[in-house]
Structure 1
Amino acid sequence: MPAVQLGREEARRIAIRAQRLDAERPDDLVGLVERLTFLQLDPTAAIAPSADLIAWSRIGSTYRPTQLQQAIEVDHTLWEHKAQDESKSPPIAMVRPISDLGLHLAEMAAGVRFERPRQWLEANESFRQDVLARLRDAGPLLSRDVPDTSTVPWVSTGWTHNQNVTRMLEFLVARGEVATAGRIGRQRTFDLAERVYPAGIETVPLEEARRIRDQRRLTSLGISRPVMVGDAGVTAAVEGSGLEWRVDPDALDQPFTGRTALLSPFDRLIHDRIRAREIFEYEYLLEMYKPAAKRRWGYFALPILHDDRLVGKLDAIADRKAGILRITAIHEDVPFSRAMTADVRREIEALAGWLGLEVAG
């Protein structure tokens, strides 16, 4: 028998509290990222970049994107990182708290794990040394300012084909030799990691780091499938679900007050489609890669959270030239009461105000 039996309502509330989407809003960006473990970076700005939209949905309209830039580039309380888990397509870019850097250094130092990138790096050792020397002499630099002296080009069927400097920089970031130093517009600048990361960060041994990261991830999710968090927490069963779950025991039996929130399509509350279906009975798919005629909810539809339920999707786009937040549709997964409708409209107005736009539609 599982250690914990949960009703769907309690499972939902655990997940919402863990993601700081209940009524008790956080007021500090770095503290929020420490709780969430990361903010995903995505350049799509149909409404706002994902990292900013995720921070706004928690903190509210006192959050400003300049706070994220300040934390990364000036205060160095946050750092940019890309997962090593994707060898054929661009890995996920994210911002993590600098307090977690030591949990990643051992894995970074172990090098790129996939055979093809590893062979490419070995074949381009002189290129690697050239890149490091160029950064040492003139960094931080944009990728376009780093000469391509590769011996063997990077071969791909995707956009990375022959993008040799970009691939080398990405792999060196993954290995902890190079780091993102800042941005000029949307383009990253790179420098030697030793000049970007604070001195004195201790490397946590690999297996211990993985265990701590699993626990940190579960704390941020509240409840998760084991594939996401390993053996962290305790085993749980959720009413109506035949799957095995892991739950953070510290998240059990806590008070809950909900609120209404508009979420990024990349929000961690809905990122695991299986969890969203099993716990929230919610279906969602980001449709910006679909032809317009095949979209059900919209190009960049925002999931709508109300109290402890995911209740719909907002199809909207920020038309900055016209100065409006254009509302195409509000898709109701469940019939909205008058109170729900009013709460959703208030949140739309708050989003528009934060963006400096007027609501249209």
Structure 2
Amino acid sequence: MEKKLTPEHLKLITLESQGLTRNTPFGAGKTAVLNTLEHLGYIQIDTLSMVERAHHHTLWTRIPDFQADYLEELVEERKVFEYWFHAASYLPMKDFRYVLPQMLVIKRGESRYYNADPKVMEYVTDTIRNEGPKRARDFENESHKAGSWWNWKPAKLALERLFMQGDLMISGRSGMQKTYDLAERVLPSSIDTTEPTSLELAEYLVKTNLRAYGFTTLKQITHLRKGNDLKKNVTQVLQAMLEEGSISQVKIEGLSSAFVQNDVFEKTFNLKNSNIWLLSPFDNAIIHRDRIKQVFDFDFRLECYTPKEKRQYGYFCLPILFGDQFIGRVDCKAHRKEKKLELIHLHIENSAIETELWLKPFVETLRRFAIFNNCESLVLTKVSPSKLGASVKKELSGLKFKK
């Protein structure tokens, strides 16, 4: 029998599970970074840099004292690794075996991507084995030497193929510049490297989604994942969990049947309504756009890939979450040379909430966000609706940017 949850309850379940009801849900410092990753399952990596990149932004949202060095140190300590979730991501090392099925599909040549030259792959592997970890640009320099029989692009593709099939791993980063090493030299000896069965993989996906979101659907569990039997296996795992009584099936209008952890029916939530979060467009909390539309009545699309004349809000908008409601979005850009954060266009869309309630905490969040982006000033270019412009600019005028 399906159970029902109120819209308010669904919001709180989502926000609590995502670590967006408290200021330090996963603790502080480097330990909090690992705690966050292990709870959420992954953090998406993105190369866009209008503001601080997505992986750092998503962690900063949940860890007020976050520093980029923490993530890099965890990679070097072999507690975190890079691979593919539904996109390029950081994952906890303890979950390594669950990426093996995808690695093996590529290694067996069953993917139409990463068609690298086997001779170049062999050369790249031998070079790293004999000379130690390498970056792509190390091979670029090598290809410029007189008498070289290959060039950089095949080597770069070989690195990517060797990484995707699990022969190489990323042992460190400098910004977006990756350093590759042999997987055998990166993987801790204690890590289980046995390939999971199809049902074990399905169980991992189900439990990761339930832990990270509180409730989930078949569509969200299998998001951007291929496999002829994946949906069947996930359904089988869900059915088994229903029968053992660890989860329940709930009815959510507009969504297919959802599954929820049973403890949420008795759980009390401590939501601070004064909290404002400025989320990355790639934040785990909003990555399922249909879910956010249905549960929060917030229609979010990233428009950087939309032709300029067709954009409704802006190139790189950040959703603004106030308590349990999305009140708008802001198109931002960090001008790093000038150390200035520009609010290109602030859109406030929820007119039911009085300005006095959200404005001061919003400005404080902007101040923190500017500092996070190494900016020392903030400029507001446009506000919609325009009648809010004077109030927002007045609050911004008194900002101080000391850490």
Q: Paired residue for 1:214, among 206, 219, 223?
A: 206
Q: Counterpart of 2:19?
A: 20
Deviation, 1:105, is 3.1
Q: Counterpart of 2:301?
A: 285
Q: Name the stretch that deviates more: 27-36 or 175-184.
A: 175-184
* Alpha carbons 1:14, 1:252 under 8 Å: kept: no
Give the structure with higher Rg (CA): 2
Q: Paired residue for 1:35, among 20, 31, 39?
A: 39
Deviation, 1:39, is 0.9
* Alpha carbons 2:220, 2:288 under 8 Å: kept: no
Q: Counterpart of 2:133?
A: 140
Q: Secondary structure at the match of 2:285?
A: coil
Q: Counterpart of 1:330?
A: 346
Q: Counterpart of 2:231?
A: none
Q: Counterpart of 2:393?
A: none
Deviation, 1:349, is 1.5
Q: TM-score, normalised by structure 1?
A: 0.85
Distance 2:108 2:263 in 1: 34
Matched, 1:227 2:240: no
Q: Counterpart of 1:340?
A: 358
Distance 2:176 2:347 in 1: 32
The unaligned stretches of length 5 or more in structure 2 are: 222-233, 239-246, 381-403
Q: Secondary structure at the match of 2:286?
A: coil
Q: Counterpart of 1:57?
A: 61
Higher RCO, 1 or 2 (CA under 8 Å, sep at least 6)? 1
- In terms of fraction of residues, the more helix-rich structure is 2
Q: How does 1:1-361 map to 2 (within 5 A)?
A: 1-2=1-2, 4-25=3-24, 26-27=26-27, 28-60=32-64, 62-73=65-76, 75-83=77-85, 92-112=87-107, 115=110, 117=112, 120=115, 124-146=117-139, 163-204=153-194, 205-207=196-198, 208-229=200-221, 230-231=234-235, 232=238, 233-238=247-252, 240-256=253-269, 257-258=271-272, 259-335=275-351, 336-337=353-354, 338-357=356-375, 358-361=377-380
In 2 relative to 1, CA 120–12 (structure 1 residues): closer, same or farther, beyond 3 Å? same
Q: Name the stretch that deviates more: 62-71 or 198-207.
A: 198-207
1:106-142 CA distance string (max 9 Å, x none): 5434545774538946xx4443322221211113111
Q: Name the stretch that deviates more: 129-138 or 45-54.
A: 129-138
Q: Secondary structure at the match of 1:101?
A: helix
1:247-287 CA distance string (max 9 Å, x none): 23334432221432110001121111111111111101111
* Alpha carbons 1:264, 1:302 under 8 Å: kept: yes
Amino-acid identity (%): 25
Distance 2:126 2:263 in 1: 48
* Alpha carbons 2:292, 2:299 under 8 Å: kept: yes
Deviation, 1:168, is 2.4
In 2 relative to 1, CA 223–253 (structure 1 residues): closer, same or farther, beyond 3 Å? same
1:73-118 CA distance string (max 9 Å, x none): 2x221111135x7xxxxxx211111121133235434545774538
Aligned residues between the structures: 339
Q: Secondary structure at the match of 1:266?
A: coil
Q: Secondary structure at the match of 1:269?
A: helix
The unaligned stretches of length 5 or more in structure 1 are: 86-91, 154-161
Distance 2:257 2:112 in 1: 35
Q: Name the stretch that deviates more: 247-256 or 298-307.
A: 247-256
CA RMSD of aligned residues (A): 2.6
1:224-268 CA distance string (max 9 Å, x none): 221222344432212x42532122333443222143211000112
In 2 relative to 1, CA 200–217 (structure 1 residues): closer, same or farther, beyond 3 Å? same
